[in-house]
Structure 1
Amino acid sequence: MGSCISISLQFNIDSCGANCFGFISGRARYVYKLEENLDALNTALEELKDEKNDLVRRVNIAEQQQLKRLDKVQRWISRAEAMETEASALILRRSQEIGRLCLCGYCSKSYKSSYDYGKTVYEKLAEVTDLRGKGRFEVVAEREPIAPVIEIPVEATVGLESLFGEVWRDLSDENVRTIGLYGMGGVGKTTLLKKINNGFLDTPNSKCHVIWVVVSKDHNLEKIQNDIGEKTGYCDDTWKSRNIQQKAEDIYKFLSKKKFVLLLDDIWERIDLGKIGLPLPNRQNGSKVVFTTRSKEVCFEMEADKKVEVMCLSWDKSWELFREKVGEEALNVHPDIPDLAQVVAKECDGLPLALITIGRAMACKRTPQEWRYAIHVLTNSASEFPVMGDEVFPLLKFSYDNLANEKLRSCFLYCALFPEDWEIKRDDLINYWMCEGFLDEHADINGLQGQGYTIIGSLLYACLLEESSEGSNHVKMHDVIRDMALWIARGCGKAGNRVLVKTSALSVEWLKIEKLEEVERISLMRNRIQNLAGSPTCPNLLTLLLHGNHLCQISKGFFEFMPKLTVLDLSHNTFLTYLP
């Protein structure tokens, strides 16, 4: 029995000694393998840096293609950067720690310090090796989820609330697939479309993919496709290099599975939505197309189910907008200014573009004299008001430039010869055009009248003329459009003046001081001129309109130096009894 106990005890002592030796030798390994582990750590660290740099390059290439790096990739890169810092700090201590070793590296002058350092190096080597193993990514980035609606900045609006409500109701009508918003330039069509876009931000359950595209005058299908592509995730250089048909197939594939609202801003002619790749809106897919245009004709060409005219503001809303842009401080600096400001605002005739632009320009005017001068300029020669010739008229001129031919452009400019707010009788206008030779001279009278009515229709559809409150036999021209037409006729602010239009004239004495060599048309309609005296030199004058004056007498030599005069209108001068 005693021998059994002796054998068992000896076994336990031997086993314990072996375990202790293994434990001690394992701890010693951190010291005597320190140099080997440091070399391995240095190599592993360099390889980690290379792998991280390769991964960052892949990520950068993906991000250039508008892809978003994966979160797990970013976490690995961040961990690798931290690991570089930690491992490099350990390696920097190498010479100091190696210097403490003795007995061929099997012992240390400061054993605890060498042990702690060696253990940290060993563990860091294991961490680097493990991190490298986790850094193999087949996919480093993916397309960012497309936001169904992207907010577009828009200033607070005045006077668009009811129109916005009308269009918003139309968007809920399953029978309305395409909506055309038309109106003259600067009236607020783009602002309304922006409000419609942002309206979908407040209806998160609509499940609509809203796509905003600015088309503009010189559009092409490929540009529209690229803009749609950016809103649908097809936006890398590879996709942009595909041809129109391939892009159309991709767009169709994406949108055919979604309910979408396509918002097209500023279109000037029919756009073939099928060629772009757009699934045509219908009751089944619930999709919609809304566009803005300056031409009512485009609404018909686009087969709009609903045509909504965006009109100028009422006087109350005009004054509200103008006050907002001028600011209460400027309006209240002198008691005369509010009344003068109303006169200036009325010159804008309800056009938001003019109200905003002129309002901002007048915000710094602090004296009644400055306001009276502004009224004088706007009334007599609006193009000389700085912001009109620089900002307002060039924007409005796009409508003029887009007219189909020179005949239409000439007929449009002729309308500016009539006084401001004049209700122009259609037949009278056509007769003027006939006399000027604007219409086809080979047509008979019925053909000429038909051609004239067609031109008037084109100008109405282009929102360059307006329907008259007098009825269908009359048309009128918006005040700011008229000012723009006169600006064009006078060379767009450049040298040269082919047209003179005067209001509130009592005589023609001013003709003696005007430079009339280049003038081709003079309009003195609805003035209070009683006598035509003198012999003004007008070598290129073609047209002289004196309708509705108080003429009593015309001197014998008045027309002597007007060799090219073709159209002379002396109608509605009831006191004129004879001609020279």
Structure 2
Amino acid sequence: MEVIVSIGEKISECLAGPILRRARYLFCFKQFVRDVEKAKQELEGKLADMNKRKEEADRKTEEIMPSVKKWLGDVNAIFGDVQKLQQELEERGNKCFNVPLRYSLAKQMEDKAKQMMELKNNSSFEPFSQLIQLPGITYFSSEQFVDFNSRKSAYNRLLEAIKDGKNKMVGLYGMGGSGKTTLAKQVGKKVNELKLFEKVVIVVVSKSPNVHNIQQEIAEQISLKFEETSRLTRAQRLSLGLKNKKILIILDDVWSKLSFEDVGIPLNEGCCVLLTTRLRDVCLDMDCESIIELPILTEEDAWALFNMHANPTTISKNEFDSIGRKIVDECKGLPIAIVTVGSTLKRRGVRVWESTLQKLQRPLPLDVKDDFETLYAILQVSYDNLRSLLAQSLFLLCSMFPEDHEIHIEDLIRFGKGTLKLDDNIYTMEDARKEILITIEKLLDSSLLMHTDKQACVKMHDLVRDVALWVAKKQGQAILVNRDVVSRMLVKNETLKETKAISLWNLENNFKLSNQLYCPTLEILLLHSAGGFFEDLGGIESLKVLAALTFSFQWIHHIWTPIQWSMPQSIVSSLMNLHALCVRGIALGDISFLCQLKILEILDLRSSEFDELPAAIVHMKKLKLLDVFACRIKKSPLEVIEKCEQLDELYFWDGKSVITENFSLSRLKRYAICDSTFASLDPLLMDPPFLKYFDDCIEALRCLCIQGFKVSTLNSSMKDLIFRANCLWLKNCRWDHNDINSEIKHLGVSHCPDKRFIVDNLGTNFPQARQVFSHLITLRLTQMDSLEQVFQDSSIRCSLPKLQELHVAVCPKLTTILTHATVTSIPELRKLQIYSCENVKWLFSYSLTSHCPSLVELRIWDCLELESLIGEEVALGDRLLHDMQDNPCGNEAERAFLVVTAKSFKQLQNHEALMTLFLRLKHVEIKRSGRRMKVMFEVQVRGTLEGEESIEEPLKLNLCSLYLDDLAELEYIWKGPPQSVSLYRLEDVSLSKCPKSKNIFTFAIVTSLPELRTLEVVRCKEWEGIFCEESLKILSSSSNVCFPKLQNISISGSNKVKRLFTYSLAFHCPLLEGITIRDCSELESLVEEASHEDILLGFSN
């Protein structure tokens, strides 16, 4: 008996643990509910922190690491599981007598709570993100490349030399301006397209090579960061970064032998160098295995190029042929000469043409080397043809900037105002600005300046720059631009006696300009340095412009550390004739002595640091422009600025000063004034809003960013600043649309809780209402809690003929974005972004779709109630667009983002104007929106569905990229009859967290994807494969390659996919390079076992 009891006790002990654990699931049920909720809240807090870090990474153009992406995906997935679990709990969990159910729910809650705590505890990621790879050589446009017959041989020889693999050094030489850079870029783009190298890198070397800059440019293009500072150690680091990598390095504009050891370029089995130079000897000195000459243009090609640029409209055809042929002959086949001369003759009369020919035929100057005699003479003709003394002076001013430098137009205006010979009747900055801008256009039209990718910058071809410096010297206006000059060379140097301008860029940190310069005619001194400038300076009494810069003009503000330099006060006596002083990015301390400069017109202290703006500046009556934008000022300067009634232009933002309602400066013609609160307006912005648009307003920028005002009660001066602004942001303000200029270009409104409409109909007459926002380019509406509509009702209908970008964020009461009832037309709208508008159901009314033909980019985030892109059913006979509320085909209605339907396919094609939105969109991104949306794009053709009509020509969509993320009900991306739609431009597709989506490519579009390059699928639980069964049948029977450019496929977190490809499908992806698969537990094989028919098809193909 004792034995039995002992055994029983032992059994009880063994069973007690499991029984108690299971009993907890029944008797501690509410505790499990609380544990889940607590774990969820803690994880939500951690997720919010991670999302902030992600937003910061996005702002820095960085991409988060794969481990972070996986963590975010796991968090979103488990939140979805917990939501379903909590929903089941609400529906069934209260049935206390259902013991198995409560047991099961409790056990699931325990598991989810543990998983959430694990995710919270494992949320430390270092590194968190990395820089997104730059586009490299593909960044450059091919517009300047003309495929002349005389160029084909050099192009093909270059390409073959690089493809050969044995040539590690390839040289391309030819005269300056012959098109070497353009040809090298075009070859680089072709090499990149053919995937001959991992990367193509291009670096401009120039006449005075800066090894530090060359190292930096190469490193940035291969995503290498230097920790080292010395040239030698950076060279070693760069060499390691390039070692064993297959990289083509294009060294452009090389003038002398460059030591690869000093730079850090290893000529290993992977690297190949293509250099361009004017001198064949450089190719020989650098041991190029293949040397290719770029000849001048043939007579036929030269004449064709001249025709492209001269484009005569003011002379007869006979005169054009007679004189033009002779001019082209004098240009000796040099492209830059032909383009330059041809551009200067455009729209000129026959006398100018004859005069130009005579000048080209004159004897050449004796001081020009034989190699460049023709070109210098030709370019001087273009200079002479400018006729305007202002244009010639501005042309010479542009040569003060370094080779290949992108010259900001604002720098030309500020330096030019102080030194150029403007008309006597030009008194204001506004007049001077207009005159200089007109002159810049003349130089651009004459091809003496070039456009850049930046709208507010211009560039001077290095050969044109050489000619400008030669002309300046010949005319007794010598310009010294040697960046390698030693300071002692500038002291009492007789050769500088006639120098009009000195421009020294990229000076070493230890550079110091010594005490006395012997430059009695010096008018401009431009110093660019990362260190000091000068301790004292004399002998410059004629100086009109002094610039001590750490950066060229820019609006975008970056975190910076001003260099420490105390501008010597003793220099003032030498600056009494100074008209413009520009000191940027420098810690100055006390600047009160500057008030002694009585005739100073421009004071530019941008991004500098100083104690205070001296009160005596009020008495500088000649001062027209004050720039203290992005300055660190210990004492707020607003009180002093308000008293500077003499100013024409003001640029102010210091990140801490608050604009008051009494602020008053009535004379301002151009201004950018930003309240400190805008530093944190948007977590993605470190700068005040709209900075990226400022460069579009070079002539007439009037920007005001204010907060906390009732506009109707402001003083007249402040009202005037608001009304005249063409770039305006109102935060937490009370205002009416009548307070805003009808010609405003950029408008932002945020945190105005009582604002129901941007424009309402109270006190508005109909004719004036049509002019509201007629010049608007950008509209941003942010955190407007009461906003119901942009416009109130049909009594206010306005056209938005220039609106290009519309951004709406966090407007919870907004249900629609734009309707034809209030907006008649938006022909230029290109970008539409909607964020966190929880009640928006559709974006456009049906009747407005044909009036927005330019929309190409659409981004929608966190709009859960979104039903479709287009709403407002309109009875127009055979409707082409509708929101699927009824069912024209007799099937079960499905929610579709955008659907096109008609009785016949022919009818669709005949009404293309009404399908503008469907056909023109290029970039679509939808995230966490449309919770009931099942279909993205659908084409319904009733006749075709019934077999009554065949499709001859599919609808061609311009879609280039499609990103769909976290769409819970989405089943289909494309739906419609076979071959009804052609996605002939689609390159990138990403599908993420769409649990009901089974395939990407349905039979409707599977054979119309010739440009598809990347395909990504992430955490789509029901996803079964890339293609549906019908698609696979079509592909297996098709003899045409359907995916000729597909390169990368990435699949992760999709557990139902069993195989990616069939045997026959491999034929359709000839360029496929990489397949990435993660967390696909049911995957059996990449390629399905081939059938006999598949093998036969493969042989036949």
What TM-score, normalized by structure 1, do the two folds share?
0.50
Q: Which structure: greater helix fraction?
A: 1
Higher relative CO (Cα under 8 Å, sequence separation at least 6) belongs to: 1
Q: Which structure: greater strand fraction?
A: 2
- The structure number with the bigger radius of gyration is 1
What TM-score, normalized by structure 2, do the two folds share?
0.28
